[in-house]
Amino acid sequence: MHEFISKSEEETKAIAREFSASLKGQEVVLIYGPLASGKTVFVKGMASGLGIDEDLVSSPTFTIMNIYTGEKLLFHLDLYRAEEKELDLLGIEDFLGMGVLAVEWGEKAESQPWAEGSIRIRILPQGEERKIIIEK
């Protein structure tokens, strides 16, 4: 387990960049944190660490999954509005192992078989700062 304090969006990206640069390329990463805590910012940093342009990363309200390519592949799930049925329809198992999977609102994926053994990122807002906990 690693703990960091981030004082800015840029610091959060840097923490995420270093984290994802250490990945093999097929991990599942569940991201926890309240609204506007920096989950998408963290995914941008992850993209950058995987050799992907971070500007590709966005979280449109009604899109459940985005796929970004660069040096590696990054699948980005945002489960804020997703229902379990939809999650089943996606068939995540079929592309696991092709790339890194980053999941915003990780709590909604916890009962999925593919979430077992995943890495957890917890973002805890503390005033203007964010505590970021990486649980491997």
C-alpha distances out from residue 121 to 3, 43, 69, 93, 133, Å: 10, 11, 22, 21, 6
Contact pick of 72, 108, 122, 130 for ligand ATP (by CB under 6 A): 130
41 is a contact residue toward ligand ATP (CB under 6 A)? yes
9 is a contact residue toward ligand ATP (CB under 6 A)? yes
Touching ligand ATP, residues 55-84 (CB under 6 A) = 59
Contact pick of 27, 57, 99, 104 for ligand ATP (by CB under 6 A): 104
Give dist(CA 128, CA 74) in Å, integer. 29
**In sequence order, what DSSP letters do the residues of 48-77 get, joined into one string?**
HHTT--GGG----TT--EEEEESSSEEEEE
35 is a contact residue toward ligand ATP (CB under 6 A)? yes
Q: Which stretch binds Mg ion (CB under 5 A): 1-9, 55-63, 88-96, 118-126?
A: 55-63
